[in-house]
Chain A
Amino acid sequence: MNWNSWSEFFSMGGYGFYVWGSYLVSVICIAGEIWLLSNRWRTLQKSLGQRVESTIREKKNEATS
């Protein structure tokens, strides 16, 4: 085991600022990419669902009228 305590782990032998600075931004970027992509996916699903529903409604209207 490298670390005796949590504070030692976070200080990274005095380089904590640099080590955590680079890891933090990496986490933000990766999480951001996942979030953006799932957002895109969700809006896409929503718009597709509406389109299909509207065509079904149109067909129904055509049948009734």
Chain B
Amino acid sequence: MLIWVIRRDLLLAMRRQADVLTTLFFFIIVVSLFPLGVGPEMNTLRIMAPGIVWVAALLASMLSLGRMFSNDYLDGTLEQILLSPTSLSLLVLGKMFSHWLITGVPLVLMAPVLGIQYDLPFSALAVLTLSLLLGTPILSLIGAIGAALTLGLRGGGVLVSLLVLPLYIPVLIFGAGAVEASVAGLGFDAHFSLLGAFLLVSLVFAPWATAASLRISME
């Protein structure tokens, strides 16, 4: 059942490649706009790079949250899923995983290329990619709660940002912090352990909270 949900979501995403590409291009454009606003001074850009890439990743992953449940909600699949005997939390976990595959993984793959624009050293590029690899699943997990709560509401897209962005702050701090520490030549193990801890905690709680939110929204 879990694999069925993931495969179905991936298949739908392949049919609508434009959606996936929009998120990715949004990420690329936001990151590329910053030097135009701040100025081409490489030393400043190198300091700002981790924060910029991470904030852009937060926004990009948030943009695609609306699609997580709304298509299934509109065509009635969600109702069927709610009625099915399989645990809803497990199915929700599948949806989170496919959301991460569709939006998170492209960001992770794109990040090193964008890091080069900011003249990050190779070690920092590796840390940036790894931190995004650890951090983007958390964004999908937490974001799903907001997506489920705002399901079918007017202006849900803006509302989801209000609900979800404050909750993303710890991920931003430690994700960007890891890269900054590596640029400064300090250890970044602690950042990674904390990101890993967040990932585990949200892996336990987020599917459950999202399932409860979906039940409330579908009543």
Chains A and B directly touch (beta carbon < 8 Å): no
